[in-house]
Amino acid sequence: MTSVPEKIRLKIAVAEFPHTAAVRNGSIPIEGVDAEILTIHPQIGAFRRMVRNVEFDVCEIAPTTYIIARAYGAPFKALPIFVTRTFHHSGLLVRPDAGIKTPKDLEGKKVGVRAYSVTTGVWTRAVLMEEFGVDNSKVTWVVDDEEHVAQLKLPPNVIHAPAGRSLADMMADGELAAGFHGNAGIGRSGSPTDGGWKEVEANYPDLFPNAKELEADWYKRTSIYPMHGTIVVKDSILKEHPWVAKSIYNAFAQAKDEWLARLNREGPADKTEKKYDNLRKLVGPDPLPYGIEPNLPTILALERTAFAQGLTPKKMTLEELFIDPAKI
């Protein structure tokens, strides 16, 4: 690693999880960095601030938002640190009277999603397109929020909900045949970007009632383990202080390793830890792998499907998107 000079001050906006807490509270310092830790509630509120105003030196943002922003020239680059993971065969809800028995039945229907670029929707559409042959251009995607990246040009099969109409209302009235649950669409109220979002009841059947089995089979065949929260660093910081990428990576990796050691000793202590402890049964002892090599199938899959879904104006290379800490 390049020698580290005197400390630099960095504004860092990364959410608190059991595996990031030690970096946030300073018990694991970032070498060479005087960290100003910022708490944004909810963290999604930082996404738009970063991609539109480059407000932070280091920020956790959604990976699809990042890939789109980078494709349009955003002045920050990602480290292969993914602080949240989840599979996405579940969560696409359908009206029982919509005639949707298989994924292909979504073609010709209107489906609600908060924003076309929301990563939950992108991963689920990847499954629909690549696993079940759904023609994404034949689905009308109805959105009721802005896309984070202002330059994004939406495909013609993406339309906005009428003014004053929520996706939940449209689903209840039969104007939508299906929609994503929670923060990605129906089953929410308020705006997730201003801290006002909360989950509400959405009692519709899931498109895939056997989602867990499908997720396990998909992972075993493809090694794709969908990532979410991705750490990005300003280009100007990286140019002036190239060593900082390794320092940030090492600190977050150490925090995660120490968390895993405690999880192994004491077992899960909260809902988040239970989630990742359960995921270890499928993905192995480390449910939050960092680095390029263990995440390569996942990174390439998200880049590929972002382009296929009309989210990026060009295909992006691995080198354009990620810093490889192993090569610093």
77 SS3 class:
strand
Model confidence at 191, pLDDT cuts 50, 70, 90, reads low
pLDDT of residue 200: 52
Q: What pLDDT sits at residue 310? A: 97
Report percent pLDDT > 90 for the chain.
88
Please report the pLDDT score of residue 25 as a whole number: 97
Give the per-residue pLDDT at 203: 82
Structure tokens that stand for 93 in this block: 């809800």
Sketch the domain layout of the chain as residue ranges. 8-85+225-327, 92-222
Query: pLDDT class for 326, splitting at 50, 70, 90?
Result: confident
Whole-number pLDDT of residue 114: 95
- pLDDT bucket at 12, cuts 50 / 70 / 90: very high
Q: How far is CA 319 from the centre of its chain?
A: 20
Q: Whole-angstrom Cα distance, residue 90 to residue 68?
A: 24
Mean pLDDT across the chain, nearest whole number? 93
Query: Are 8-85+225-327 and 92-222 the same fold in CATH?
Result: yes
**Neighbour order of strands in the sheet with 178-180:** 92-94, 178-180, 110-112, 140-143, 158-160
Q: CATH assignment of 8-85+225-327?
A: 3.40.190.10
- Round to whole Å and give the CA distance between 144 and 81: 30
- CB count, 10 Å around CB of 185? 32
Segment 92-144, tens digit of pLDDT: 999 999 999 999 999 999 999 999 999 999 999 999 999 999 999 999 999 99
pLDDT confidence of residue 197: 43
φ, ψ for residue 49, nearest 5 deg = -65, -35
Query: Cα 34 to chain center, whole Å?
Result: 27
- What's the rounded Cα separation, in Å, for the pair 89 and 98? 19
CB-based contacts of 49, cutoff 8 Å, min separation 6: 40, 55, 56
- Count of alpha carbons within 13 angstroms of residue 37, beta-carbon side: 16
Look at residues 258, 234, 288 and name the one whose alpha carbon lies nearest to residue 80. Answer: 288
pLDDT of residue 196: 45
pLDDT at 4 over 80: no
The answer to whether 186 touches 161, Cβ cutoff 8 Å, is no
Lowest mean pLDDT among 79-83, 199-203, 228-232, 282-286: 199-203
Give the per-residue pLDDT at 201: 58
- CA 137 from chain centre, in angstroms, equals 23
Q: What are the E-state strand segments in the chain?
A: 8-13, 33-38, 58-61, 76-82, 92-94, 110-112, 140-143, 158-160, 178-180, 188-189, 198-199, 230-234
**CATH of 92-222 given 3.30.230, 3.10.450, 3.40.50, 3.40.190:** 3.40.190
Say which DSSP state 186 is in.
B
% pLDDT > 70, the chain: 93
* Cα separation, 123 vs 110, whole angstroms: 18
Q: Tell me: pLDDT of 42 over 80.
A: yes
pLDDT tens digits, residue range 132-179? 999 999 999 999 999 999 999 999 999 999 998 999 999 999 999 999
